[in-house]
Chain A
Amino acid sequence: MDVFSKPKFFTTSTKGENAELLVELNSEYRERRKDAVKRVIANMTVGKDVSSLFPQVVKNMQTEDLEMKKLVYLYLMNYAKSNPDLVILAVNTFVRDTDHLNPLIRALAIRTMGCIRVDKILDHVCEPLKKCLQDDNPYVRKTAALAVAKLWDLDQERARENGFVEILQELLSDSTPMVVANAVTALAEMQESATIDNGGDVFVVNVVTMNKMLAALNECTEWGQIAILTSLADYRPVDSKEAENICERVVPRLSHANGSVVLSSIRVIMMYMRYLKNDDFVKALIKKMSPPLVSLLASPPEVQYVALRNINLILQKRPDILQNDVRVFFCKYNDPPYVKREKLEIIIKLSNGRNIDQVLSELKEYASEVDVDFVRKAVRAIGRCAIMIDEASERCVNVLLDLINTKVNYVVQEAIIVIKDIFRKYPQRYEAIIPTLCQNLDSLDEPEAKGSLIWILGEYAERIENAVELIESFLETFLEENSQVQLQLLTATVKLFLKKPSQSQELVHRVLQTATQEIDNPDTRDRAYVYWRLLSTDPQAAKAVVLSEKPPISVESGGGTGATGSGRGPSNGLAGVSRIAPGLMDELICNISTLASVYHKPPRAFLGNKAFSADAVRKAAVEDAKDEEQIAGEDAPVPGSAAAAAPKNAMADLLDLDFGSAEPQVPAYSSPPVSGTRAPANYNADLFGLSSDMGNMSGAFGGSNGLQNNMNGGNSASGSNGNLFGDLGGFGGFGQSPPLSQNQQHQQPQSTPQNTQSSAVNDLLDLL
């Protein structure tokens, strides 16, 4: 492993050591040989290469000393692959050991043989394996059952030909529960990779097997119970009554001390619920599930984390669960950050008109903690509560104002971002607080917070006396700003002009000029062109477009709280609570307690293709077609750089389409602007030539307006701020991958740099 990092003499001494070991391994004294084997294993543990000793070590395999035997076996498992030809030396001893009087050795031999992933050994493994599967001793049988799965993994055909599938199926009726559990485990794994070409299904859970499994369930070890419960979830009950019966058999498992048994039971119950027709029974089940879920919070933090991610899912599927339990999710001071984050998500989901006061005081407390990331999330949570619960919005706003008064920089900025969303949700309700917000102008240094405040200034320009001065002061640094802020400034200035034309004519002219001439970012520049043309063509149309009614914001919108690209947990939410599309939701419910339920992603989204057999891929493809839209966000979260350029083309094309017929000069404009280069002088000239001729073009504009409105309808969930020209760019993006819906926004990996995103995404940001 680290041969290269060591000084040279050390390498030679390793060689020397191997030579020395070689002698010792051949010693006539048993104890010395045993010590030598131990040293070999010790060297293997620290990563030294001892594969050259293979023949000598294997010679020591034939011994009655169990410890020695285990060590040699361990060595074999590790180095068989590097010495496939020599493995044959060990086969005889293996086969003999599977006949040994001691069941421990029989089991050990068959277990180890299965772990040696070398083709040569396969020829010799089948006979002993058959014997072991029928061994008198249950310990040997339970070991052999798993050995079948090992063989299957290497050579399905051979496993089928030798009748192992049938033998395993018979083991489901074994008298020893642990043998049954391992048979279930092995069959379930084999079924997953079973191919049609080779004879199809090996394990379909039917009434008979289901009853066998239920019989073994009560007597199994905790791990065996999990295996059985997992396979039980694959059974499709014929009617409501049967589903009820099975649920009744599973419910007692909710009292098991092992949290995984509990969650596996909950998976079975949640999956069977869709077959249940008896509402009272369902209600009773829901009631029984709550306490065990809460008790999982007394587990070690890592288990708590998994439990919390699952509770998050279950809550979305069954909002009637845990209704009176919000307090158990309040964070403890010493909870690890990843637990706090998840608890916060659940607190928001459980907050309602009845408990909001409690929740708010708790969130306010979190907002004064030291962990900046957590504080920000707490502030955002307050905003989410305001948007979710109308009657509590005023209390939320008051808490946010309290927080702004703390003057803690990042708290203030986060609060302003959140207040912008509240303004969108409840227009005309909280304008009175604008002066307080404006007092904090100078402390804003994050683009998102700055953009939010500027948005508020533009939106309420007519009510803010010194709006012109305020925007003017922001414009002083226009060129240095982040493009997100520039876009907001641009829009706010135009809004200002439309609302107070007399005071800001010069201002808007200056901004448009700067943006078109001095800014390289195509998004900002193009938007400025569009505004300019719009304003000079038809100010009324401009008003209709820029000051149009915004689509309503809701808790579901704007969030990116779902799984992140890296799968390390949820990303920052905006105003929205993460919502999972129903199709994906059902799939995740089938995966409760697994990694998929932790990542909130379907398994195929994070499993490498290597894990898939051809058939599994085929199956997945069929399902893919079914819920295509879910993965659209996963597999192609953001179009690459090529796609990022494409919307520009589309936009240019669109403009081309609208104006081209009337103005032959247009090609100068419609050639896609190249980012990074200054617009040449004649380019501008052409444009103005064009715009001056555009007086008669409002009809064309009206047409495009209608188009945009359509798009807005499709796009309303995105929480786009109704800035139609932004959406124009967005249209290009949509043209690229048609079936995009909410999912895309939820699953957008946060790590993607903004400027490589398509303008569709930029327009989301535009709103921030």
Chain B
Amino acid sequence: MASAVSAIFILDLKGKVLISRNYRGDIPMSAVEKFLPLVLDAEEDGQAPAPCFTDDGINYMYIRHNNLFLLAISRKNSNATTVMLFLHTIAEVLTEYFKELEEESIRDNFVIIYELLDEMMDFGYPQTTESKILQEYITQDAYKLEVQVRPPMAVTNAVSWRSEGIRYRKNEVFLDVVESVNLLVNANGNVLRSEILGAIKMKVFLSGMPELRLGLNDKVMFESTGRSPTKGKSIEMEDVKFHQCVRLSKFENDRTISFIPPDGEFDLMTYRLNTQVKPLIWVEALVENYTGSRVEYLIRVRAQFKRRSSANNVEIHIPVADDADTPRFRNGIGSVQYVPEKGCVIWKIKQLQGGKEFSMRAHFGLPSVKNGEDTDKRPPISIKFEIPYFTTSGIQVRYLKIQERSGYAALPWVRYITQNGDYQMRMPDSIKSSKMAPI
């Protein structure tokens, strides 16, 4: 079951090829000309085009990135997950190289993109894609005759993500525990889904080849070792995903998280758990619609977390009718702004203290004659926020042990933050207080 792809293309939205690489030569490169018409045909049929499809024995797999398509074609029963992830990896690597991946940066950097495409994939199989390692031997300006670059050991090492011989004067590690809350509440105020996607992000400035061991208040670990947490509670993670540097079999055996970290920034692990806790920020909306004259919104926000925490940069996006005009607002806190191009009102609150509750009223005029159909369907209310020094799950870093042959002492720093993920509350139906109710 060979997973190889035959060629990779980067195209603009009109289907023009900006750059391409033919890996196997078993498909005429002109096959790409059929790609966009096929996608557009699917759109016309009302069938939203899927990210992979087959036509005339050729498989097309693509992703959108900014205003570009990244497309892979193959003649084989390719591993679709691999191909999709690989296309995303290309986008990530090129973005790290050029800051923005767009038509212009591709044209300006075609030489290096060819080199990267050559190095990241061979005969249609993904090879080295670790951007930090690639940057060691594929660079824009390192080509001097005197010193010729060589493939870094890391490319083929078991530790393929870290080069040897890294030196820092001050050895430090920063750990950020970031929890994003995904929440979906239906129009009746019932919580449909509440989950936490956590990530432990690291910034590593350590010399040599350090061995790290991270201890968390992981319930499964405590249970398996028979110990109990010294203080506080332990947490139960539903699913954990690790950066490739973590020894997975060791984790499976005794839940130890041990690894040799890459240099610089990376996501060490992500975890997921469903919570039964109260949503951190609760918003209620009351909409009164006087068809043909005006619509009124009463929005109430409540911070349902501990008093000593507070949420920063809270933004509540409330969708309003497209034809609404002459906005007027009354708010006790923060600032309110109507953003017609997004079709919503944004209520910003710089700091929202736990346990507090505020309300805001918005008033719009409506045209007396409705144009077109009654498209009452609105997107949900979405909320942005961040709460520093706080995790919803209660996850704690118990220790981070750092060992290196030279025996230096290194300082770990830990920060906790909770923020919104997909935090959406569906808009309730408006109360039709129409005086001119249809009979």
Known: A188-B2, A306-B80, A330-B184. A38 touches B111 (CB 8 A): yes
Q: Tell me, in angstroms, the Cα distance from A699 to B55 when the chains sit together.
A: 53
- Binary interface encoding of chain A residues 320-358 relative to chain B, with 1 for a CB under 8 A from any of its CBs, else 0: 000000011010111011100100000000000000001
- Binary interface encoding of chain A residues 543-583 relative to chain B, with 1 for a CB under 8 A from any of its CBs, else 0: 00000000000000000000000111100000000000000
Q: Which residues of A contact B380 (CB under 8 A)?
A: 333
A227 sits at the interface (CB 8 A): yes
A520 sits at the interface (CB 8 A): no
Q: B426 is contacted by which of A143, A219, A221, A365 (Cβ under 8 Å)? A: A365
A606 sits at the interface (CB 8 A): yes
Q: Tell me, in angstroms, the Cα distance from A153 to B22 when the chains sit together.
A: 15
Q: Which residues of B contact A149 (CB under 8 A)?
A: 123
- Binary interface encoding of chain A residues 591-626 relative to chain B, with 1 for a CB under 8 A from any of its CBs, else 0: 101111111000100111111000000000000000
B145 sits at the interface (CB 8 A): yes
B201 sits at the interface (CB 8 A): no
Q: Are A330 and B192 in contact (CB under 8 A)?
A: yes
Q: Tell me, in angstroms, the Cα distance from A594 to B1 when the chains sit together.
A: 9
Q: Which residues of B contact A301 (CB under 8 A)?
A: 51
Q: Tell me, in angstroms, the Cα distance from A192 to B1 when the chains sit together.
A: 7
A294 sits at the interface (CB 8 A): yes
Q: Are B125 and A227 in contact (CB under 8 A)?
A: yes
Q: Which residues of A contact B248 (CB under 8 A)?
A: 218, 252-253, 255-256
Q: Tell me, in angstroms, the Cα distance from A248 to B241 when the chains sit together.
A: 17
Residue of B nearest to A294 (CB): B239
Q: Are A226 and B79 in contact (CB under 8 A)?
A: yes
Q: Which residues of A contact B50 (CB under 8 A)?
A: 305, 338, 568-569, 598
Q: Which residues of B contact A334 (CB under 8 A)?
A: 379, 422
Q: Tell me, in angstroms, the Cα distance from A563 to B155 when the chains sit together.
A: 41
Shortest distance from the beta carbon of B60 to any chain A beta carbon, whole Å: 10
Q: Tell me, in angstroms, the Cα distance from A138 to B150 when the chains sit together.
A: 12
Q: Tell me, in angstroms, the Cα distance from A39 to B78 when the chains sit together.
A: 35
Q: Are A255 and B241 in contact (CB under 8 A)?
A: yes
Q: Are B193 and A327 in contact (CB under 8 A)?
A: yes
Q: Tell me, in angstroms, the Cα distance from A306 to B53 when the chains sit together.
A: 11
Residue of B nearest to A370 (CB): B377
Q: B127 is contacted by which of A189, A223, A597 (Cβ under 8 Å)? A: A223
Shortest distance from the beta carbon of A47 to any chain B beta carbon, whole Å: 7
Known: A291-B239, A567-B54. A595 touches B244 (CB 8 A): no
Q: Which residues of B contact A294 (CB under 8 A)?
A: 238-239, 272
Q: Are A70 and B115 in contact (CB under 8 A)?
A: yes
A395 sits at the interface (CB 8 A): no
Q: Are A256 and B241 in contact (CB under 8 A)?
A: yes
A673 sits at the interface (CB 8 A): no
Q: Tell me, in angstroms, the Cα distance from A39 to B21 when the chains sit together.
A: 17
Q: A255 is contacted by which of B75, B118, B252 (Cβ under 8 Å)? A: B252
Known: A139-B151, A150-B123, A607-B75. A45 touches B19 (CB 8 A): yes
Known: A257-B270, A594-B77, A610-B57. A226 touches B239 (CB 8 A): no
Shortest distance from the beta carbon of B237 to any chain A beta carbon, whole Å: 9
Q: Which residues of B contact A608 (CB under 8 A)?
A: 56-58, 75
Residue of A nearest to B180 (CB): A298
Q: Are A593 and B81 in contact (CB under 8 A)?
A: yes
Q: A300 is contacted by which of B88, B110, B251 (Cβ under 8 Å)? A: B88
Q: Are A292 and B1 in contact (CB under 8 A)?
A: no
A733 sits at the interface (CB 8 A): no
A42 sits at the interface (CB 8 A): yes
Q: Are B115 and A103 in contact (CB under 8 A)?
A: no
Q: A606 is contacted by which of B57, B62, B114 (Cβ under 8 Å)? A: B57
Total A-B Cβ pairs within 8 A: 279
| The stretch of B41-49, B277-285, B392-400 that contacts the partner chain | B41-49
- Binary interface encoding of chain B residues 101-128 relative to chain A, with 1 for a CB under 8 A from any of its CBs, else 0: 0000000001100110010001101111
Q: A192 is contacted by which of B2, B24, B111, B186 (Cβ under 8 Å)? A: B2
| The stretch of A60-68, A378-386, A457-465, A658-666 that contacts the partner chain | A60-68
Q: Are B111 and A303 in contact (CB under 8 A)?
A: no
Tell me the chain A residues, 219-249 only, with Cβ under 8 Å from chain B. 219, 221-223, 226-227, 230, 233, 249
- How many residues does chain A have at the interface if contact means C-beta atoms less than 8 Å apart? 114
A372 sits at the interface (CB 8 A): yes
Residue of A nearest to B17 (CB): A47
Q: Which residues of B contact A74 (CB under 8 A)?
A: 114, 118
Known: A291-B238, A295-B272. A362 touches B192 (CB 8 A): yes
Known: A146-B122, A328-B195, A607-B77. A295 touches B241 (CB 8 A): yes
Q: Tell me, in angstroms, the Cα distance from A317 to B272 when the chains sit together.
A: 26
Tell me the chain A residues, 639-684 only, with Cβ under 8 Å from chain B. none
Known: A45-B110, A47-B17, A568-B42. A610 touches B80 (CB 8 A): no
Q: Are B187 and A365 in contact (CB under 8 A)?
A: yes
Q: Which residues of A contact B114 (CB under 8 A)?
A: 41, 70-71, 74
Q: Are B242 and A599 in contact (CB under 8 A)?
A: no
Q: Are A611 and B85 in contact (CB under 8 A)?
A: no
B202 sits at the interface (CB 8 A): no
Q: Tell me, in angstroms, the Cα distance from A298 to B54 when the chains sit together.
A: 26
Shortest distance from the beta carbon of B266 to any chain A beta carbon, whole Å: 10
Q: Are B155 and A593 in contact (CB under 8 A)?
A: no
Shortest distance from the beta carbon of A175 to any chain B beta carbon, whole Å: 10
Q: Are B54 and A226 in contact (CB under 8 A)?
A: no
Residue of A nearest to B194 (CB): A327
Residue of A nearest to B115 (CB): A70
A747 sits at the interface (CB 8 A): no
Q: Are B137 and A104 in contact (CB under 8 A)?
A: yes
Tell me the chain B residues, 1-52 only, with Cβ under 8 Å from chain A. 1-4, 17-19, 22-26, 42, 46-52
Q: Which residues of A contact B62 (CB under 8 A)?
A: 302
Q: Tell me, in angstroms, the Cα distance from A373 to B269 when the chains sit together.
A: 38
B131 sits at the interface (CB 8 A): no
Q: Tell me, in angstroms, the Cα distance from A305 to B80 when the chains sit together.
A: 10
Known: A223-B82, A223-B129. A42 touches B110 (CB 8 A): yes
Q: Are B156 and A139 in contact (CB under 8 A)?
A: yes
Q: Are A255 and B122 in contact (CB under 8 A)?
A: no
Q: Are A219 and B241 in contact (CB under 8 A)?
A: no
Q: Tell me, in angstroms, the Cα distance from A717 to B247 when the chains sit together.
A: 51
A137 sits at the interface (CB 8 A): yes
Q: B242 is contacted by which of A81, A103, A117, A255 (Cβ under 8 Å)? A: A255
Q: Tell me, in angstroms, the Cα distance from A302 to B80 when the chains sit together.
A: 9
Q: Are A66 and B80 in contact (CB under 8 A)?
A: no
B339 sits at the interface (CB 8 A): no
A732 sits at the interface (CB 8 A): no
Q: Tell me, in angstroms, the Cα distance from A234 to B157 when the chains sit together.
A: 27
A312 sits at the interface (CB 8 A): no
Q: Which residues of A contact B192 (CB under 8 A)?
A: 327, 330, 358, 362
A745 sits at the interface (CB 8 A): no
Q: Which residues of A contact B239 (CB under 8 A)?
A: 255, 291-292, 294-295
A754 sits at the interface (CB 8 A): no
| The stretch of A84-92, A259-267, A756-764 that contacts the partner chain | A259-267
Max count, chain A CB within 10 A of own CB: residue among B17, B25, B128: B25
Known: A373-B47, A569-B47. A114 touches B123 (CB 8 A): yes
Q: Are B110 and A610 in contact (CB under 8 A)?
A: no
Q: Which residues of B contact A67 (CB under 8 A)?
A: 111, 115, 143
Q: Which residues of B contact A223 (CB under 8 A)?
A: 82, 86, 125-127, 129
Q: Are A255 and B48 in contact (CB under 8 A)?
A: no
B160 sits at the interface (CB 8 A): yes
Q: Are A369 and B377 in contact (CB under 8 A)?
A: yes
Q: Which residues of B contact A115 (CB under 8 A)?
A: 23, 25, 123
Q: Could you show 17 A-B contacts with beta carbons less than 8 Å apart?
A: A66-B143, A67-B115, A139-B156, A146-B122, A146-B123, A222-B244, A252-B249, A300-B88, A303-B84, A332-B424, A333-B379, A338-B50, A361-B186, A567-B53, A599-B54, A608-B57, A610-B26
The 4 tightest CB contacts between A and B, nearest first, are A608-B57, A337-B48, A291-B239, A138-B156
Known: A67-B115, A303-B85. 16 other contacts (CB 8 A): A41-B110, A66-B149, A146-B123, A153-B24, A223-B86, A255-B240, A255-B248, A257-B244, A259-B81, A330-B192, A332-B422, A365-B186, A568-B49, A606-B59, A607-B75, A609-B57
